[in-house]
Amino acid sequence: MLDRISTKTLTAGLIAVTFLVIAIGGVIRIYDAGESCPDWPTCFGSWSFDVSPEEQEIWWDENPDEIDSRGEHHRYTTFQIFTEWVHRLIAGVILGPLVLLNWFLVGRNDESNSATKLAAAVSVALIVWQGLIGWFTVEMDNEHWSVALHLASALAFELSLIWLWLCISRDTHETPKWIEFDPILATRWKNRIAWLGFGSFIALFAGVFVATTPGANTGCGVNGFDSWPLCHGKLFNTIENLENQSQIIHRWIVVIVEIALLAAAWVVMKEQDQHQHGQILRNWIWTATGLFLLNVVVGAFYIFSWTADSGFEEWLSLLHLLLASLTFLVLATVWLSTSVGTLYDTNVETLE
Ligand code: HEM
């Protein structure tokens, strides 16, 4: 029983810490600190983040192959190096070992069923993968697609932990009420939620290209309403370059997903009345729709925040990333809980 309680708590803690690492990853990006540790696992050959400009110069002289696109004369601030250093530290020193420990504890427990053990093993595989992709992102000079892959893998890792948490809750019959769905409604909504989750993920994925392609965040201009909701004063623009115009592609995906979410929010409101626990599913879909809508507003404010002196308010870009990640995770959690069939132990007959 102690193992059960500890793995459930440990998994919940890992979910929270992973979200923190995702947030720090966004901080790295907005401070343009993506290669402030050009090597891995060390940082300028050291285990510390306190690397002076002189020490950076010596290291570049000794490692000319590692010089990134910013050139050999570029110097990173201690704060920039710290963001990258702490991101790796939490991932490698806290998350990595604890995910392994969790897997060990889950495997040792006779009450863990095969799905729980599988979820724990997947989380181990994904943290190893994430470390490799992190290294790859650095090697690839933060190419947009490598960052997009890194973010996608981060979300997959976070989902594996949520899946594990759901499985442990099922094993111990401790699934909280707020994630118990009406079985009939859940069956009907499973595929719809999968599509909504997929759509929100594609919107997020396209957003990473806007954030990491130089100049793409000004791809629709910076002239108030002519730049949002319009793009260079137009509603429709011809696409000539997928990367440079990723912003307009991102926006159109967002429009489609938002319409789908609003439609889902309306339909589930109509359908939930006929079901005993319908409100719970409705609340989750409303939450996802609300988060997505809020994020549209944040995206708009980001465009409006531009000034000639200081550019964009980049903290809005971080908030945008976190809200997008959260929306996807909300939908994916609902899908997982309906799909693994783990959450609703009361059988259908009790409703009839
Ligand atoms: C569980 C482990 C990890 C998670 C969840 C994670 C997650 C993230 C996320 C979400 C971002 C932001 C992406 C964006 O803004 O679009 C990011 C950025 C970054 N991560 Fe990680 N990461 C992890 C481990 C690592 C490791 C081990 C390394 C290095 C070897 C690394 C290197 C980087 C770099 C260089 C960036 C900045 C990319 C840029 O400038 O755009 N990450 N990470």
CA of 134 to the centre of ligand 1 (A): 6
Ligand 1 centre from 203 Cα, in Å?
19
139-165 tens-digit pLDDT: 888 888 899 999 999 999 999 999 999
Centre of ligand 1 from the C-alpha of residue 64, in Å? 24
Please state whether 241 falls in left (phi above 0), alpha (psi between -120 and 50) or beta: beta
Dist. CA 33 → ligand 1 center (Å) = 11
Average pLDDT over residues 18-45: 94
The mean pLDDT of 237-251, rounded to a whole number, is 87
Q: Give pLDDT, residue 141.
A: 80
Tell whether the model's pLDDT for residue 123 goes beyond 50. yes
207 CB contacts (<8 Å, ≥6 apart)?
250, 320, 321, 324
Residues within a 6 A CB radius of ligand 1: 18, 21-22, 25-26, 28-29, 34, 40, 84, 87-88, 91-92, 95, 127, 130-131, 134-135, 137-138, 142, 147, 150-151, 154, 157, 208, 211-212, 321
% of the chain exceeding 70 in pLDDT: 95
> Residue of the nearest CA to atom 1 in ligand 1?
91
What are the phi and psi torsion angles at 220 (to 5°)? Answer: -110, 10
Confidence of residue 243 (pLDDT cuts 50, 70, 90): confident
Q: How confident is the model at residue 1 (pLDDT cuts 50, 70, 90)?
A: low
Domain assignments of the chain as residue spans, ordered by start: 1-174, 175-352
pTM above 0.75, yes or no: yes
Is residue 48 pLDDT above 60, yes or no? yes
Q: Which of 29, 82, 150 to mutate to test the pocket of ligand 1 (most atoms within 8 A of CB)?
A: 150
**Given the structure tokens 């309403």, which residue do they identify?**
225
- Phi, psi angles (nearest 5°) of residue 277: -115, 30
Q: In whole angstroms, what is the distance from residue 93 CA to residue 97 CA?
A: 6
- From ligand 1's centre to the CA of 125, what distance in Å? 17
Residue 172 phi, psi dihedral angles, 5° rounding = -95, 5
Q: What is the pLDDT of residue 169?
A: 92
- Whether the predicted pLDDT of 345 surpasses 80: no
- The per-residue pLDDT for range 212-239, each reduced to its tens digit, is 898 999 999 999 999 999 999 998 888 8
Identify the CA nearest to 144 among candidates 301, 21, 34: 34
| H helices present in 31-143, as ranges | 53-62, 78-89, 96-108, 114-139
Give dist(CA 212, CA 89) in Å, integer.
23
If phi over 0 gives left and psi between -120 and 50 gives alpha, with beta otherwise, what is residue 311? left
CA of 273 to the centre of ligand 1 (A): 43
Which pLDDT score is estimated for 351? Answer: 37
Q: What is the mean pLDDT of residues 202-210?
A: 95
Of ligand 1's listed atoms, the one at least distance from the Cα of 137 is 35
Whether residue 4 has pLDDT greater than 80: no
Question: Across residues 343-350, what is the average pLDDT?
Answer: 41
Would you state the pLDDT for residue 3?
53
